[in-house]
Amino acid sequence: MALNTFDPRSSAHIEAATGIWNAACGAGLSFSERFMRYNTDPAHWNGQGKHQAGQIVVVDGQPAGFALASVMKEPYAGAPYSGHIDALAVLPAHQRRGIGRALVAWAETWLRGQGCARVTVGASARTFVPGPPLELGSAGFFERLGYSRNGVCCDMARDLAGYITPPTALKAKGVTVRPAQPEDKDALLGFLKREFPTGWYWECVQLLEAGSRISDYVILLSARGVDGALLVTFEDSFRPLDRFYPHRLPRPWGQLGSVGVSADCRGSGYGAALMDGALRYLQARGVRGCVIDWLVIVDFYARFGFEVFRQYEMASRDL
Ligand SMILES: CC(C)(COP(=O)(O)OP(=O)(O)OC[C@H]1O[C@@H](n2cnc3c(N)ncnc32)[C@H](O)[C@@H]1OP(=O)(O)O)[C@@H](O)C(=O)NCCC(=O)NCCS
């Protein structure tokens, strides 16, 4: 067994890592090479802040496993840095031979060298998975290597054919919900910087800089301006829809991000109005199978007819 440095510019490495993931995780959790390229793009965050490295394990001259690890640093996050094992997979024929353990050991050593105090499985910027998918049964592997299980999060889904606005979404008064337009850019970024200055603000900055269309953000406007936003994904969005693993759902597919509303406006029905506006926007564009990803509290989304679609264990350890 030999460990080789993963090169995100190498088509052979992108193809090998994608093939290993798809073979190890199965059709329901498969993704395209385009998604692997997107999630390992060295230009991500303009080359600053996010640091990612990877290894491909070669056995008898053939790729058999891979791991990617990353850490977010200034200006996006401050020390002590939290590190991530972004993705890890071993071909089924090579499992239970110590390859996964060797890859985790490499990732932990690299992350320690980057100044990380803690490592989390998944949940990286440009996420592969929020944690080990429950259906793969790999949380036991991480537990064996000293990781603690920190609960479960889930994706929810529904078919938008037949979606009708639920009563909960009719409470907000004096607000408009619509896709953002180019002239909304400063107001959208101002809202995100004020209310969600770490993850969502920087995600928006880099998506817009990279050429994503601004209308994938649905905004809620009150009398004082933007007071809510959420990000949606279509099959033709800049951000690949593969990330949400919608394969079992009817096409066309779509996704809707978590709802973000100004802290001083919560409890006014704005979140529900924003959800409904986004769902009707997706529905009007023909979307059927729709995923809302990475949720811990499901009641709010259940009111819109969403049901639990996939679960992930959350796993982490101190380094
Ligand atoms: C999880 C995975 C990477 C493990 O790789 P592997 O090469 O089979 O793991 P190793 O052989 O190094 O196993 C190390 C130890 O964990 C144990 N182990 C492996 N898989 C396990 C599992 N699913 N449940 C419990 N223990 C497991 C092994 O028996 C071994 O135990 P030991 O201490 O007695 O030797 C592999 O099963 C895989 O690719 N799964 C699909 C992808 C995935 O779930 N990735 C995680 C999310 S990113």
- Residue 149 pLDDT exceeds 80: yes
Pocket lining: 25 vs ligand 1, CB cutoff 6 Å: yes
DSSP 128: S
Pocket lining: 308 vs ligand 1, CB cutoff 6 Å: no
pLDDT recorded at residue 121: 97
Pocket lining: 95 vs ligand 1, CB cutoff 6 Å: yes
58, exposed or middle or buried, with CB in 10 Å at 0-12, 13-18, 19+? middle
pTM: 0.94
- Residue 48 pLDDT exceeds 70: no
pLDDT recorded at residue 125: 85
CA distances to 142, 230, 309 from 87, rounded to whole Å, are: 13, 26, 21
Instruction: Compute the distance from residue 21 Cα to the ligand 1 centre, in Å.
Output: 14
Residue nearest to atom 33 of ligand 1 (CA): 144
Task: Please write the tens of the pLDDT for every residue from 183-230.
Answer: 999 999 999 999 998 778 988 998 998 899 999 999 999 999 999 999
- Burial letters for 206-222: b for 16+ Cβ neighbours within 10 Å, e otherwise? bbbeeebebbbbbbbbb
- Residue 242 pLDDT exceeds 60: yes
Question: Which structural domains are found in the chain, ordered by start?
Answer: 2-128 (3.40.630.30), 157-314 (3.40.630.30)
Terminus-to-terminus CA distance in the chain, angstroms?
Answer: 25
Residue nearest to atom 43 of ligand 1 (CA): 89
Integer Cα distance of 38 and 31 in angstroms: 11
Contact yes or no for 141/317 (Cβ under 8 A): no
- Residue 100 pLDDT exceeds 80: yes
Average pLDDT of span 120-147: 95
Instruction: Compute the distance from residue 83 Cα to the ligand 1 centre, in Å.
Output: 20
Instruction: Compute the distance from residue 14 Cα to the ligand 1 centre, in Å.
Output: 22
pLDDT recorded at residue 80: 76
Average pLDDT of span 119-135: 95
